[in-house]
Amino acid sequence: MYLMESADETRRLLAQQRANDSRQVMMLTGVKPGDRALDAGCGPGLLTETLTHLVGPSGHVTGFDLSPERLAVARARCAHFPNLRFLQANISDTGLPEGSFDYTWSQFVFQYLGDRKSALEELVRVTRPGGKVVVSEIDGLGLQNWPFSDALHEGTLRIANALATQGFDLYVGRKMHREFIEAGLLEVRVHLLPFYVSAGEADTRLVRDWETRFAALESVAAPAFGGKEAYQSHCQEYMRMLADPMGLKYAILLVTEGTKP
């Protein structure tokens, strides 16, 4: 189940992707001109487009996602690339040939997966020997703020625990290093990068991102507060924290890379 589904989700994903410099991360983790690259869980296709620029006309990119809506947006925005295709597929069973890709990328997908092991095994399977598997994920999103009252901290943990019952892992980023090693990948490295940093009042994009998150998660998280009213009160207090001109708010990404033997 995709917990963040809403009428505003495609817009939120595009804004989120634009706010992060994935191009530099992809280059840092080994994508190069001429590569056959995979974007696993491509969403609306902005990062798939970035990959296509990086592999150049001599390379080829495949993007897949489960959402027909997001794939329609991706196909429309990337229709001018002759060396790019999109598929509807499940990350644990893509149907793609073994050893098809030099560089396999996935961002913000593993946090939603109840069975990360089979998904990672599938990404390894479709990567060629010597190729790279890269997973970019959040870690502790929403908890790195100062000042951050005990009540806000406790409420944020309530949301995290409620999401965990639905298979969402707020701390997935720190777990990928071990899981890459267990999957048999070699030369496993982890890069710590900012997801966002807001020193002072949060900008419009970050505010809207959190508004969309809170609205989409209400049905799952509100019971942890005893009802919608208490949940919405927590969300309003969190938004006031984001607006604090003297506060610091930040979140991190942990990008894990490994080489298939």
The 10s digit of each residue's pLDDT in 69-83 is 999 999 999 999 999
What is the rounded average pLDDT for all residues in the chain? Answer: 93
What residues does 135 pair with on adjacent strands? 106, 256
- Asked if residue 127 has pLDDT above 90, the reply is yes
The 10s digit of each residue's pLDDT in 213-236 is 999 999 999 999 999 999 999 999
CA-CA distances (angstroms) from residue 14 to 82, 129, 174, 199, 255?
A: 22, 32, 25, 23, 19
Q: Please, which pLDDT band fits residue 147 given cuts at 50, 70 and 90? A: very high
Among 205, 167, 212, 157, which Cα is nearest to 7's?
212
**Class in CATH terms, 9-259:** alpha beta
**Hey, where are the domains in the chain?**
9-259
The DSSP element (H or E) to which 36 belongs, if any, is: strand 36-40
The 10s digit of each residue's pLDDT in 156-170 is 999 999 999 999 999
Q: Please, which pLDDT band fits residue 212 given cuts at 50, 70 and 90? A: very high
- State the Cα torsion 114-217-107-89 to the nearest 10°: 60
pTM, two decimal places: 0.91
The 10s digit of each residue's pLDDT in 11-46 is 544 545 454 678 899 999 999 999 999 999 999 999
**Mean pLDDT, residues 3-10:** 51
Q: Can you say whether the dihedral through the CA atoms of 7, 61, 127, 189 is positive or negative?
A: negative
The DSSP element (H or E) to which 255 belongs, if any, is: strand 248-259
Residue 225 phi, psi (nearest 5): -105, 0
